[in-house]
C-alpha cells in the first residue's frame, strides 16, 4: 500500500511540474517592422500565429531611423527587425547577419485626378506643387533624396531648391507621408509597393533617376527569444512568405 501511495505521489508531482511548461512555451516576439511593409507583414504574422499557437507576434510599424535607434540604444524589446539594408548597416554589430527578403523602387503618387498635373519627376519642382516627403533620416526620405539628386544632374540646383520650397509636409513613417497626400500635399515620392489604384494615381519615375532599395530581416543579438525569432525569420523567407511579399507588389531580393 505504501508503495502504491508513493507511486501516486510521484505521478501527481510529475503532473503538477508539467503543468507550467505549457505556459512557459508561450512566447511573445517583439517585431520592429518598416511601416511601408505593414500590409504584407500583417498577413505573414497572421499566417504564422495560426500555425504556431504558442507564439504571439507584437509588431511595431516604424520608420527606419526609429528601428535603428531602438536597436542601437536597446531602448525597447526587439526580437526581429525588418528594415532597409542601409538602415540595418548602421547597427550591424548588434544584429545577426541580415537576410535580404525584397526589393522596392520609387514612384510618384498623386491623388486621384492628379490636380497638380504632374507628368514626371521634373514637374515636382513646378510652382504650386505641394509635396509630402520623408524626413532626411528616414528610409522613404533618403531614397526620395537620392532620386531628386539624380534629377539635379540634368536640371541643376534650382530643381533641388524648388523641391525644398514645395515640400509642405515631412514625416519619418512612410504611412504618415501617404496620409498627407490629398490633404496637405498633392504629390509624393514613395515606394512602388504603396500603390493603391483606388486612392492614388501613379506617375512612373524613369529608370535613370530611380533607386532600387533592398530590405532585409534579422534577429538582434539582444533578443531573449532567439530560437523563436529565427523560426519566424525562416517563415518570412519561405516560399509562402515570398508569395505574400510578391502579392503586395514587392520585387524579389537580389540573388
Domain of residue 54, CATH code? 3.40.190.10
Q: Is the dihedral of CA 92, 254, 105, 248 positive or negative?
A: negative
* Residues 115 and 200 both lie in one domain: yes
Instruction: Please report whether residue 79 resides in a domain.
Output: yes
Contact residues for 93 (Cβ-Cβ < 8 A; gap 6+): none
Q: How far apart are the first and last CA of the chain?
A: 70
Predicted confidence at residue 255, as pLDDT, reads 82
Residue 218 has pLDDT above 90, yes or no: yes
Instruction: Please report whether residue 163 resides in a domain.
Output: yes
Predicted confidence at residue 121, as pLDDT, reads 98
79-90: b or e for each residue (b if 16 or more CB lie within 10 Å)? bbbbbbbbbbeb
* Residues 126 and 202 both lie in one domain: yes
* Residues 153 and 69 both lie in one domain: no
Predicted confidence at residue 8, as pLDDT, reads 39
Burial class (CB in 10 A: 0-12, 13-18, 19+), 1: exposed
pLDDT tens digits, one per residue of 180-193: 999 999 999 999 98
* Residues 88 and 123 both lie in one domain: no
**How far apart, in whole angstroms, are the C-alpha atoms of residue 247 and residue 106?**
18
Contact residues for 1 (Cβ-Cβ < 8 A; gap 6+): none
* Residues 111 and 90 both lie in one domain: no
Q: Which cell is 218 given? A: 534579422
Say if CB 63 and CB 172 are below 8 A apart: yes
Mean pLDDT of the region 196-222: 95
Predicted confidence at residue 12, as pLDDT, reads 42
* Residues 119 and 187 both lie in one domain: yes
If one counts the domains in the chain, the total is 2
Burial class (CB in 10 A: 0-12, 13-18, 19+), 138: buried
For the chain, give the longest Cα–Cα distance: 97
Mean pLDDT of the region 112-123: 97
Residue 159 has pLDDT above 70, yes or no: yes
Predicted confidence at residue 195, as pLDDT, reads 87
Report the share of the chain in percent with pLDDT over 90.
80
Predicted confidence at residue 69, as pLDDT, reads 94
Q: Give residue 90's domain range.
A: 26-102+215-247
Instruction: Please report whether residue 21 resides in a domain.
Output: no
* Residues 190 and 135 both lie in one domain: yes
Amino acid at each position: 500500500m505504501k508503495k502504491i501511495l508513493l507511486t501516486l505521489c510521484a505521478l501527481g508531482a510529475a503532473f503538477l511540474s508539467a503543468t507550467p511548461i505549457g505556459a512557459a512555451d508561450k512566447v511573445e516576439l517583439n517585431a520592429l517592422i518598416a511601416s511601408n511593409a505593414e500590409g504584407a507583414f500583417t498577413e505573414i504574422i497572421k499566417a504564422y500565429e495560426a500555425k504556431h499557437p504558442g507564439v504571439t507576434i507584437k509588431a511595431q510599424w516604424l520608420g527606419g531611423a526609429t528601428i535603428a535607434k531602438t536597436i542601437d540604444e536597446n531602448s525597447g524589446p526587439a526580437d526581429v527587425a525588418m528594415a532597409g539594408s542601409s538602415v540595418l548597416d548602421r547597427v550591424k554589430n548588434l544584429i545577426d547577419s541580415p537576410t535580404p527578403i525584397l526589393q522596392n523602387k520609387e514612384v510618384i503618387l498623386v491623388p486621384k485626378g492628379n490636380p497638380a498635373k504632374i507628368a514626371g519627376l521634373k514637374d515636382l519642382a513646378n510652382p504650386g506643387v505641394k509635396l509630402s516627403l520623408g524626413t532626411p533620416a528616414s528610409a522613404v526620405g533618403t531614397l526620395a533624396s537620392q532620386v531628386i539628386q539624380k534629377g539635379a544632374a540634368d536640371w541643376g540646383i534650382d530643381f533641388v531648391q524648388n523641391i525644398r520650397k514645395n515640400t509642405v509636409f515631412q514625416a519619418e513613417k512612410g504611412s504618415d507621408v501617404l496620409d498627407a497626400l490629398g490633404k496637405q500635399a498633392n504629390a509624393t515620392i514613395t515606394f512602388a509597393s504603396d500603390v493603391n489604384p483606388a486612392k492614388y494615381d501613379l506617375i512612373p519615375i524613369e529608370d535613370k533617376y530611380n533607386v532600387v532599395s533592398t530590405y532585409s530581416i534579422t534577429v538582434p543579438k539582444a533578443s531573449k527569444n532567439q530560437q523563436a525569432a529565427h523560426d519566424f525569420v525562416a517563415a518570412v523567407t519561405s516560399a509562402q512568405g515570398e508569395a505574400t511579399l510578391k502579392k503586395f507588389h514587392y520585387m524579389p531580393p537580389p540573388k
